[in-house]
């Protein structure tokens, strides 16, 4: 039997066998009901996700990078998560990166044939200069994508940490990787259309991983994105609101301080710690940019 025929994501879903005969509302009810199962399946994988977060954090805090590798939907989801990290958490674009089979043209259209290119996956890791300080995360609904397997093999050869987020069990992959998250989302509403539940699960898991890692790196104070880069008016306004929320000061006072510092963290530390600009900057440098650690030193 073909190895792909054994995949649960490639089997027919009995709930949607007659979806082509349903009303619009009935179609949506079926899709919604299937989507509801995804977070519950993820909940069963929280221990594995936590281990992945801790592994990535240990690498990134020492200067390593996180690289997502995927093809098609999985590749685009990895890129999306990577693209959001610099503006949200103020990190370098090099810290979190995405690699997709087919390169840039895969962002503008389907190039499904590239996912079968094992050697291209290896080459992508070579071109990104992956080292032992990095983490490479393979994203694949099937757990069998040659491009992703090639990338993970090359990353392992370079002593990088490796992990996979997949939607079908793959014992061989589990033996190769430092961490594997198997989120068995089962048959899709449209048979084999893993952009649906499988893709949704990957997106939710990536959200959890990148967000939790950045929190551990001190990019969040309380539940505020204090490393946001104020590159437009909306984000400038958000930055001022964050300062006001974190310090209990008025919007006007927060704005006045932010206009002087152009830095959310420094502004918060100045207002909460009653410090001048240079002292706040120095203290943040001493504590690795972690606001709570800086405040603890004052107290």
223 and 291 Cβ atoms separated by less than 8 Å: no
84 has catalytic annotation: yes
| Residue from 10, 58, 84, 184 carrying the catalytic annotation | 84
| Residue from 34, 115, 120, 154 carrying the catalytic annotation | 115
Residues 6+ apart with CB under 8 A from 42: 49, 183, 201, 204, 205, 208
26 has catalytic annotation: no
Active site residues: 84, 115
């Amino acid at each position: 039997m073909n190895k792909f025929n054994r995949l649960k994501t490639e089997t027919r879903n009995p709930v949607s066998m007659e979806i082509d005969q349903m009303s619009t509302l009935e179609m949506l009810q079926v899709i919604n009901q299937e989507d509801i199962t995804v977070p519950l399946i993820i909940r069963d994988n929280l221990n594995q996700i936590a281990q992945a977060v801790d592994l990535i954090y240990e690498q990134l805090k020492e200067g390593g990078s996180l690289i997502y590798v995927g093809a098609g939907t999985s590749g685009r989801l990895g890129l999306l998560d990577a693209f959001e990290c610099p503006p949200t958490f103020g990190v370098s674009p090099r810290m979190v990166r995405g690699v997709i089979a087919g390169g840039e043209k895969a962002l503008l259209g389907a190039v499904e044939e590239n996912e079968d290119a094992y050697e291209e996956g290896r080459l992508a890791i070579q071109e990104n200069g992956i080292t032992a300080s990095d983490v490479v995360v393979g994203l694949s609904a099937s757990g069998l994508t040659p491009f992703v397997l090639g990338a993970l093999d090359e990353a392992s050869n370079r002593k990088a940490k490796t992990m996979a987020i997949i939607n079908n069990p793959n014992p061989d992959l589990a033996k190769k990787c430092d961490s594997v998250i198997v989120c068995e989302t089962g048959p899709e509403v449209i048979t084999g259309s893993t952009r649906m539940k499988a893709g949704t699960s990957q997106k939710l898991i990536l959200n959890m991983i990148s967000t939790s890692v950045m929190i551990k790196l001190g990019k969040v104070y309380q539940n505020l994105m204090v490393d946001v880069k104020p590159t437009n008016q909306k984000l400038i306004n958000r930055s001022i609101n964050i300062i006001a929320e974190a310090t209990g000061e008025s919007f006007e006072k927060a704005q006045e301080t932010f206009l002087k510092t152009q830095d959310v963290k420094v502004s918060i530390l100045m207002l909460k710690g009653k410090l001048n600009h240079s002292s706040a900057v120095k203290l943040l440098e001493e504590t690795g940019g972690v606001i709570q650690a800086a405040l603890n030193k004052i107290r």
